[in-house]
């Protein structure tokens, strides 16, 4: 079983916050792939379904962001889910809006939900980082992430959520690169695998000019050269 946890804060007050993009992505996957209705369990809301034939549990912790690891840990222990089968979707300040990256392991990057999961479950799980952009100053971060998406964000936010839900079966196949690429293509960003492929020229060493031989000034060779060329 694959566990996909979307992070956010519970309740209508936070529903449209930038910090809740993980919840939004989990909802989009559930709708797109006809998961069972959400129910309460493991200090979370959960929905079961299948992606590419694989059994998947979607989870939205109801413990508030800073204690997300408690809900994720409960579900993992109950279903005996190992870290490689955990995928966490969350907001990333250090990525521009309309950008997405997947990585395995690493640090929390200051994200309290990830810090909590790392503490409760370990670090070697897959992280789907969805860019929300940075307000430009550390002092503005708190109000920014707990603020609602602006109306102008809808032109990229809705397509991003659709792209994540459409590509999510690739997460079930452990094809993280394919998942990222399909999202990028869906968003009109082109084939990322082709864009990131090194150019052939970069692997061709430029020919160096032949070194000029050093002519001896004394000795038999010098004498012969003088005789031939009159120097």
Active-site residue, from 19, 79, 120, 155: 19
Structure tokens at 24: 């939004």
Task: Give yes or no for a contact between 150 and 111, defined as CB atoms under 8 angstroms apart.
Answer: no
Closest by Cα among 126, 119, 123, 136 to 100: 126
Task: Give yes or no for a contact between 89 and 22, defined as CB atoms under 8 angstroms apart.
Answer: yes
Q: What is the pLDDT of residue 216?
A: 55
Q: What is the pLDDT along the chain (231 residues), one digit of tens a residue?
A: 999 999 999 999 999 999 999 999 999 999 999 999 999 999 999 999 999 999 999 999 999 999 999 999 999 999 999 999 999 999 999 999 999 999 988 887 778 899 999 999 999 999 999 999 999 888 999 999 999 999 999 999 999 999 999 999 999 999 999 999 999 999 988 776 665 555 444 444 444 445 545 555 555 555 555 555 454
* 120 given a catalytic annotation: no
Q: In the chain, what are the domains?
A: 2-195 (3.40.50.1470)
Q: What is the pLDDT of residue 200?
A: 46
The DSSP-derived string for 64-96 is -GGGHHHHHHHHHHHHT--GGGEEEEEEETTS-
Give 24: exposed, middle or buried? Use CB within 10 Å, 0-12, 13-18, 19+: buried
Predicted structure pTM score: 0.80
Q: What is the pLDDT of residue 202?
A: 42
Q: Buried b vs exposed e over 104-127: b needs ≥16 C-beta within 10 Å?
A: eeeeeeebbbbbbbbebbeeebbb
Q: What is the pLDDT of residue 170?
A: 95
Task: Give yes or no for a contact between 133 and 2, defined as CB atoms under 8 angstroms apart.
Answer: no
């Amino acid at each position: 079983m694959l566990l996909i946890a979307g992070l956010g804060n519970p309740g209508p007050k936070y529903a449209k916050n930038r910090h809740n993009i993980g919840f939004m992505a989990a909802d989009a996957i559930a709708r797109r792939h006809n998961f069972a209705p959400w129910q309460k369990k493991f200090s979370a809301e959960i929905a079961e379904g299948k992606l590419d034939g694989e059994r998947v549990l979607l989870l939205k912790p109801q413990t508030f962001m800073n204690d997300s690891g408690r809900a994720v840990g409960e579900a993992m222990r109950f279903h005996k889910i190992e870290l490689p089968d955990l995928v966490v979707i969350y907001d990333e300040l250090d990525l521009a809006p309309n950008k997405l990256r997947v990585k395995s392991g690493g640090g929390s990057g200051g994200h309290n939900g990830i810090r909590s999961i790392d503490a409760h479950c370990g670090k070697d799980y897959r992280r789907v980082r969805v860019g929300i952009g940075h307000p430009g100053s550390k002092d503005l971060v708190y109000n920014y992430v707990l603020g609602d998406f602006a109306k102008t964000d809808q032109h990229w936010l809705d397509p991003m959520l659709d792209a994540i839900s459409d590509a999510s079966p690739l997460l079930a196949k452990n094809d993280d690169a394919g998942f990222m690429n399909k999202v990028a293509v869906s968003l009109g960003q082109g084939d990322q695998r082709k864009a990131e492929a090194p150019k052939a020229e970069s692997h061709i060493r430029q020919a160096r000019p032949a070194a000029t031989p050093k002519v001896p000034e004394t000795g038999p060779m010098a004498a012969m050269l003088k005789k031939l060329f009159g120097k």
